[in-house]
Amino acid sequence: MRLIAVCLIVLAGGLPRAAVAQNSETLADIRQQLTVLYVEIQSLKRELSTTQTPLGVTTAGSTLERIDAIEAELQRLTGRTEQLSNRVEHVVEDGTNRVSDLEFRLVELEGGDVSQLGETTTLGGDVVVPATLGGGETQTAAPETSELAVGESADYQRAKSALDGGDYVSAANQFSAFLDTYPGSPLAPEAHLGRGMSLEGQEPQTQEAKAAVARAYLESYSINLRSPVADQSLFHLGKALGALGKTNEACVTLGEVQVRHPGSDMVLQAQSEMRNLGCP
């Protein structure tokens, strides 16, 4: 357990200060205040804009210029706040995933019971998004989208086509090359999963080869616990552990499919595999 503590301390110490620094006012609060101020500035600007010919009163152009300058600065600050908020969210998600992966790996290496791990607590605590202006509606975060590098999607599709076509050796090599060429790719969970399936398709006979399959599925799952293929990765990881002769660990992992992904199509497959392994 001392090893776990040391690794967690090192990981926490390596996170950017922005992710661990605590303030009484969150970035979401600042963003909301900027939004309120921006709306009020727009309202003030409309008040200073005349709708008819002035009757002996001249609107000072310098005031409007100052308001325009304030508006531009508010827009810049709002954009910067959004960038910082997204950065912190990425750091928290990545840190949480890494801690979860460390816990799973180290408990397994030390012969502990991985079923007792549970869900890893989010670093910094859960973030509550404040209500928006006016109508009391709750602001929901838009799904994050990451742009793919030139050729990234095409390279992934070629590897996937090789896998679908049963060319497992070529597919495994292409997925490995993809992961080396595009580190941190949004498609990394899918690529690790595809690599694991490619290695498994070659019907590995040695323990080392079977362990490589399990590691690929573990990488796919641990790199992003909420990826579109997380349920598949977890199921295949449990199945691969069973192939390694780790029946207890396989049963626990397969049981987690229903716990963590209750609506997934993988639940029935996981239950079937558990029956094959004689899980309690």
Let me know whether 106 and 165 are in one domain.
Answer: no
Domain with 110 in it: 2-51+59-116
Q: Is the pLDDT at 45 greater than 50, yes or no?
A: yes
When pLDDT is cut at 50, 70 and 90, the band that residue 33 belongs to is low
* Mean pLDDT, range 57-71, rounded to an integer: 65
- Tokens 């229903």 label which residue? 258
122 domain-assigned: no
Q: Is the pLDDT at 110 greater than 80, yes or no?
A: no
21 domain-assigned: yes
Let me know whether 255 and 166 are in one domain.
Answer: yes
Alpha carbon 98 to its chain's center:
11
* Mean pLDDT, range 13-23, rounded to an integer: 41
Let me know whether 165 and 260 are in one domain.
Answer: yes
Let me know whether 157 and 272 are in one domain.
Answer: yes
Angle of the 61-109 helix axis to the 27-48 helix axis, nearest 10: 160
- Tokens 């002996």 label which residue? 56
Q: Dmax of the chain from CA atoms?
A: 94
Instruction: Evaluate if pTM is beyond 0.75.
Output: no
Q: Using CA atoms, how far apart are residues 48 and 86, in angstroms rounded to an integer?
A: 36
Q: Using CA atoms, how far apart are residues 101 and 225, in angstroms rounded to an integer?
A: 10
126 domain-assigned: no
Assign residue 259 the CATH number of its domain.
Answer: 1.25.40.10
200-203: long-range pairs with CB below 8 Å, 24+: 200/236, 200/240, 201/163, 201/166, 201/168, 201/171, 202/168, 202/169, 202/172
β-strand partners of 131: 138
> Total domain count for the chain?
2
Q: 10 Å Cβ neighbour count for 261? A: 17
> In this predicted structure, what is the pLDDT of residue 46?
65
Q: 117-126, 179-188, 231-240: which range is least confident on average?
A: 117-126
42 domain-assigned: yes
Tokens of 194: 């595809």
Per residue in 156-179, pLDDT (tens digit) is 999 999 999 999 999 999 999 999
Per residue in 196-229, pLDDT (tens digit) is 999 999 999 999 999 999 999 999 999 988 899 9
132 domain-assigned: no
